[in-house]
Amino acid sequence: MKKLLVILALAAVSYVANAQPRAVGLKLGYGAEVSYQHQIKGEDFLEATLGAYAFNTLDVACTYNFMIERPQWTDRGEWGFYAGPGAALGFGGAFHIAATGQVGLEYTFWFPLQLSFDLRPELGILAGGDQSVGFYWSLTPTLGVRYRF
């Protein structure tokens, strides 16, 4: 299962590795995630994350985010409000697969630094180590810091 998750994460990153611009960094919420963003079409972007969470799970998530608005709140830098659907897969003490989404606000400085605040709702199926299976939902707030190139 670990090999499958690594292959899926590498395939997602290699699929989008040829376009510009990109951003790589960390997101902190209920755990820590490595985040990779890649602009796809216009201002829309794909975000892939690999994270470790407090309850011993490793999670891979990918969301396609639509840039909804770019408000002109400051003279320098750029604001962005985005949202989009995605999927998540994880394992650890339990295995889970989920439909996820993301809603966020980001600020890209006039130098290559990006800060973001996201909310990621998730609805999925959780299979525990004790052979139990059930539905779960979560809402994870995260703060992100990325280098944009």
Residue 15 neighbours by CB under 8 Å, 6+ apart: none
Q: Could you give phi then psi for residue 4, rounded to 5 degrees? A: -60, -45
Residue 15 reports pLDDT greater than 60: no
pLDDT mean over 73-100? 93
> pTM (2 decimals)?
0.82
| Percentage, residues of the chain above pLDDT 90 | 70
What's the rounded Cα separation, in Å, for the pair 129 and 66? 37
For residues 50 and 52, give the distance between their C-alpha atoms in angstroms, rounded to a whole number: 7
φ and ψ at 90, to 5 degrees?
-150, 160
- Give the H/E segment covering residue 68: strand 57-69
List pLDDT tens digits, range 91-133. 887 889 999 999 999 999 999 999 999 999 999 999 987 778 9
Residue 111 makes CB contacts below 8 A (sequence gap 6+) with none
The DSSP line for 27-57 is: EESSEEEEEEEEE-STT-EEEEEEEEETTTE
